A and B are shown apart, each in its own frame.
Chain A
Amino acid sequence: MYSLGDIVRLLLYLVGLIGFGAFNAAYLSLLERKQSAWMQLRRGPTEVGPWGLIQPVADGLKLLSKQILLPRDVNVPLFLLAPIMVVVPAIVSLVTIPFSETLVAHRYNLGLLMIFSFGAINIFALLIAGWASANKYASIGAVRVVAQNIAYEVPMLLVVIALVMVTSSFDLVEIVKQQGGGCWHWNLLKLGANPMMPASFLIFFICMLAETNRAPFDMVEAESELIAGAFTEYSGMGFGLFFIAEYVNILIGCSLATILFLGGWDCPFGLFPGPHWFLIKMYALCFTVVWVRWSFPRTQFYGLLNLSWKILIPLALVNLLLTAVMLKLVP
Chain B
Amino acid sequence: MSTDAQAIHHESFIVNLGPQHPATHGVLRIKLTMDGEYILDAEPIIGYGHRMHEKMGENRAYAKFLPNTGRMDYVAALFNGHGYVCAVERLAGLTVPERAEYIRVITCELNRVASHLLWLGAFLVDLGGFTPLLYCFDDREKILDLLESVTGARLTFCYFRFGGVCNDIDDTFVNGTRDFVKLLRSRMPLYHDFVSTNIIFRKRCEGIGLLSADTCRRYGATGPVLRGSGVAYDVRKQEPYSIYPKLDFKIPVYPECDCMARYRVRVDEIVESLRIIEQALDQLPAGPVMAPKVPKILKPAKGDCYFNVESARGSFGIRIVSDGSENAYRLKLRSPCFSNMSLFQEASRGMLLADALALLGSLDLVIPDMDR
Give A residues with C-beta under 8 Å from B. 36, 39-42, 136-137, 140, 143, 215-216, 218, 222-225, 227, 294-303
The answer to whether B198 and A40 have CB atoms under 8 Å apart is no
Q: Is B353 an interface residue (CB 8 A)?
A: yes
The answer to whether B22 and A227 have CB atoms under 8 Å apart is yes
The answer to whether B357 and A297 have CB atoms under 8 Å apart is no
- Per a CB cutoff under 8 Å, which of A137, A294, A297 touches B127? A297
The answer to whether B130 and A225 have CB atoms under 8 Å apart is no
Which residue of chain A lies nearest to B13 when distances are taken between CB atoms in the complex?
A: A136
B214 to chain A minimum Cβ distance, whole angstroms, is 26
In order of increasing CB-CB distance, the 6 nearest A-B pairs are: A298-B128, A297-B129, A40-B134, A297-B127, A224-B23, A297-B128
The answer to whether B13 and A224 have CB atoms under 8 Å apart is no
Residues on B with C-beta less than 8 A from A300 are 203-204, 352, 354-355
Q: Is B249 an interface residue (CB 8 A)?
A: no
Residues on B with C-beta less than 8 A from A223 are 22, 128
Q: Is B37 an interface residue (CB 8 A)?
A: yes
The answer to whether A216 and B200 have CB atoms under 8 Å apart is yes
Compute how far the CA of A297 lies from the CA of B126 in the bound complex, rounded to whole angstroms.
9
Compute how far the CA of A42 lies from the CA of B36 in the bound complex, rounded to whole angstroms.
39
The answer to whether B22 and A303 have CB atoms under 8 Å apart is no
Compute how far the CA of A295 lies from the CA of B135 in the bound complex, rounded to whole angstroms.
12
Compute how far the CA of A40 lies from the CA of B129 in the bound complex, rounded to whole angstroms.
12
- Per a CB cutoff under 8 Å, which of B36, B130, B201, B353 touches A294? B130
B29 to chain A minimum Cβ distance, whole angstroms, is 14
Interface centre among A41, A140, A300, A303 (most CB of B within 10 A): A300
Residues on A with C-beta less than 8 A from B127 are 224, 297-298
The answer to whether B134 and A225 have CB atoms under 8 Å apart is no
Compute how far the CA of A136 lies from the CA of B37 in the bound complex, rounded to whole angstroms.
11
Which residue of chain A lies nearest to B122 when distances are taken between CB atoms in the complex?
A: A224
| Chain B 76-101 per-residue mask, 1 if CB under 8 angstroms from chain A, else 0 | 00000000000000000000000000
A136 to chain B minimum Cβ distance, whole angstroms, is 5
Q: Is B131 an interface residue (CB 8 A)?
A: yes
A35 to chain B minimum Cβ distance, whole angstroms, is 11
Which residue of chain B lies nearest to A143 when distances are taken between CB atoms in the complex?
A: B36
B139 to chain A minimum Cβ distance, whole angstroms, is 11
The answer to whether A224 and B125 have CB atoms under 8 Å apart is yes
The answer to whether B204 and A41 have CB atoms under 8 Å apart is no
Known: A137-B15, A224-B23, A224-B357. A299 touches B131 (CB 8 A): no
* Dominant SS among interface residues on chain B: helix
A94 to chain B minimum Cβ distance, whole angstroms, is 30
Residues on B with C-beta less than 8 A from A227 are 21-22
The answer to whether B203 and A299 have CB atoms under 8 Å apart is yes
Q: Is B124 an interface residue (CB 8 A)?
A: yes
Give the interface residue-count category, chain B: 20 to 34
Question: 14 new A-B pairs (CB below 8 Å) besides A300-B203, A303-B204?
Answer: A36-B131, A143-B36, A218-B128, A223-B22, A224-B127, A297-B124, A297-B128, A299-B203, A300-B204, A300-B352, A300-B355, A301-B37, A301-B352, A302-B352
Residues on A with C-beta less than 8 A from B131 are 36, 39-40, 294-295
The answer to whether A297 and B201 have CB atoms under 8 Å apart is yes
Compute how far the CA of A225 lies from the CA of B133 in the bound complex, rounded to whole angstroms.
17
Known: A41-B138, A297-B128, A298-B127. A224 touches B204 (CB 8 A): no
The answer to whether A224 and B128 have CB atoms under 8 Å apart is yes
The residues in B between 121 and 172 inclusive whose CB is less than 8 angstroms from any CB of A are: 124-131, 133-135, 138
Compute how far the CA of A222 lies from the CA of B127 in the bound complex, rounded to whole angstroms.
9
The answer to whether A42 and B204 have CB atoms under 8 Å apart is no
The answer to whether B15 and A222 have CB atoms under 8 Å apart is no
Residues on A with C-beta less than 8 A from B204 are 297-300, 303
The answer to whether B198 and A296 have CB atoms under 8 Å apart is yes
B356 to chain A minimum Cβ distance, whole angstroms, is 9
The answer to whether A296 and B129 have CB atoms under 8 Å apart is yes
- Per a CB cutoff under 8 Å, which of B36, B135, B198, B353 touches A225? B353
Residues on A with C-beta less than 8 A from B23 are 224-225
Residues on B with C-beta less than 8 A from A42 are 134
Compute how far the CA of A39 lies from the CA of B138 in the bound complex, rounded to whole angstroms.
13
- Per a CB cutoff under 8 Å, which of B15, B124, B138, B354 touches A301? B354
Compute how far the CA of A300 lies from the CA of B359 in the bound complex, rounded to whole angstroms.
13
Interface centre among B15, B128, B203 (most CB of A within 10 A): B128
Residues on B with C-beta less than 8 A from A222 are 128, 354
B343 to chain A minimum Cβ distance, whole angstroms, is 21
Q: Could you list some 9 contacts between A and B, CB below 8 A?
A: A137-B15, A224-B126, A224-B128, A227-B21, A227-B22, A296-B129, A297-B201, A299-B200, A303-B204
| Chain B 336-359 per-residue mask, 1 if CB under 8 angstroms from chain A, else 0 | 000000000000000011110100
Which residue of chain A lies nearest to B199 when distances are taken between CB atoms in the complex?
A: A296
The answer to whether B200 and A296 have CB atoms under 8 Å apart is yes
- Per a CB cutoff under 8 Å, which of A294, A297, A302 touches B198? A297
Which residue of chain B lies nearest to A219 when distances are taken between CB atoms in the complex?
A: B354
Residues on B with C-beta less than 8 A from A140 are 37, 353
The answer to whether A303 and B203 have CB atoms under 8 Å apart is yes
Residues on A with C-beta less than 8 A from B21 are 227
B11 to chain A minimum Cβ distance, whole angstroms, is 12
Residues on A with C-beta less than 8 A from B200 are 216, 296-299, 303
- Per a CB cutoff under 8 Å, which of A36, A41, A137, A225 touches B357? A225
